[in-house]
Copies of this chain bind each other. A is one copy, B any other.
Amino acid sequence: MMGGQEEQPGVVEEATVEKVLKRSSSVVSEKEVTLKDLARSMANFAAEREWDQFHSPRNLLLALVGEVGELSEIFQWKGEVPRGLSDWNDADKEHLGEELADVLLYLVRLADVCNVDLGDSALQKLQKNARKYPL
């Protein structure tokens, strides 16, 4: 995942990712993971590894498509599955969580490099949908 094979051993930068993750962790306990937190984490992660060069819009879009493919593979031979996935074992559920996360992280990153505020866009879309399908 993420964007390149290159690593930069020995680079002594501040551990921005760790800090963000720590902050995010406290956020988790309050169940308040925000899209901005994720965008910031991804941006720092890429910058620290000099991966920005790989994170062009179309590269990230294709990476997103790749992750959607992996998500689909989880469901491909199963026929219809019930909501809640009550009969899935823990390993399968964890795998699913990882693939859903991968799609989300690339989506967040794609929006970010396109200067799109994804949270704003989502709220606007919800409002548009509410107007389109009134109660």
Contact = CB atoms under 8 A, between A and B. Distances in A.
Interface residues of A, number: 92
B105 A125 contact: yes
Interface string A61-94: 1111111111111011111111111000000010
A54 to B, nearest CB: 5
Interface string A16-51: 011001001100100111111010011001001100
Contacts of A117: 97
A78 B81 CA distance: 14
Interface of A: 1-4, 7-8, 11, 13, 15, 17-18, 21, 24-25, 28, 31-36, 38, 41-42, 45, 48-49, 54-59, 61-73, 75-85, 93, 96-98, 100-105, 107, 110-111, 113-130, 132-135
11 contacts: A7-B134, A24-B126, A33-B35, A55-B83, A59-B76, A63-B72, A63-B73, A65-B65, A69-B70, A100-B114, A101-B125
